[in-house]
A = this chain, B = another copy of it.
C-alpha cells in the first residue's frame, strides 16, 4: 500500500537532479531518463517545468518539517537539538562537499533567475530559522533568539559554501566543533 506513483518518482528524481546539477541546467530529458519514462508523458503530471520545481520545493518543505519534529523529539534539551542541526554538516558531508547545501544553493540560483518560486524556496530557510529561534528561546535567550538563529544559519551556510569550494573535510569538522562550543556559551551566558 501507499506505493510511489510516477508523479512521486518524477518529483524525487527532479529533487536530486536540481540539487546535483542546478535547476536551470536540468532538462526534462535528464529527469525522464532517470525515471525511465517518455519525455512527453511529463505533461500528464505537470503542465510545465516550474510546476515540477514547486512540487520539489513542497517535498523539501515537508521533509524538513518532519526532520525538525524528529530532532525536537530526540533531543532532550534545546542545546542538544541545536547540535542536531549543526551536525547535518557532518552527516551530509560528502554531498555538501560536492554540491553545497541544498537549501542555500537553490535559493541562490532562484534569486539569480529572478524566479517566481524564490519566495517559496526561502521558506525552507524560514523553517530552520524559526525552529532554531524556538530552541534559543528555550535556552533562555528569548530576547535575541532570532538573531542567534540567523547567526547560526549563516555560519552553517558559509561552511557549506567553503567546503564545496575547497573540499576540505577537516575544516568542516573544525567549524562544527566551534559552532557547538558557541551554542554552549550561548546557554551558559544567560
Q: List A residues at the B interface (Cβ < 8 Å).
A: 20-22, 24-25, 98-100, 104-105, 107-109, 111-113, 121-122, 125, 147, 150-151, 153-159, 161-162, 164-166, 168, 171, 174-175, 178
Which residue from chain B places its CB closest to the CB of A110 in the assembled complex? Answer: B165
B154 touching A158 by the CB < 8 A rule? yes
- Copies of this chain, complex-wide, total 2
Q: Which of B122, B153, B161 contacts A157 (CB 8 A)?
A: B161
* The 5 A-B residue pairs with the shortest CB-CB distance in the complex, in nearest-first order: A158-B158, A154-B158, A157-B158, A157-B161, A107-B165
Which residue from chain B places its CB closest to the CB of A21 in the assembled complex? Answer: B112
A111 touching B165 by the CB < 8 A rule? yes
Distance in Å: Cβ of A46 to nearest Cβ of chain B: 21
A104 touching B150 by the CB < 8 A rule? no
B108 touching A161 by the CB < 8 A rule? yes
Chain B residues within an 8 Å CB radius of A147: 174
Q: Given A147-B174, A158-B153, A161-B157: A22 and B24 within 8 A (CB)? A: yes
